[in-house]
Structure 1
């Protein structure tokens, strides 16, 4: 499944949704509304924020999750 990586529990779109919700409210509120632990919400928020900061956000929103490579580009795996 290109929209879900190995060991990933939520889709990329859902993680993006969680990130945007935390920006609008608090981790606690999102945790309560989504019935997730605060740690899970916080981890998702930091993961997406790191991708956005690294310039790989375009790849995150697309079909595959991408992380920055050692050479500075975005990977598709």
Structure 2
């Protein structure tokens, strides 16, 4: 259970960072050294993961609904 919780927290952190990247204006200054890249510059754009986040939510909701149904059928509360 702890590993599942850690995975969910990691996905949440990654999605938050990717969404934060889109809220900052793009860096247009060409005099900045490319070796001093920020964390936001190293992340891909949100459009790359948009459908992945949606399907991960649908899959987790489906797994939760299936688990609850199975618990009721077996009689575990």
Q: Give TM class, smaller chain.
A: 0.3 to 0.5
Larger radius of gyration: 2
What TM-score results when the alignment is normalised by the length of structure 2?
Answer: 0.37
What TM-score results when the alignment is normalised by the length of structure 1?
Answer: 0.37
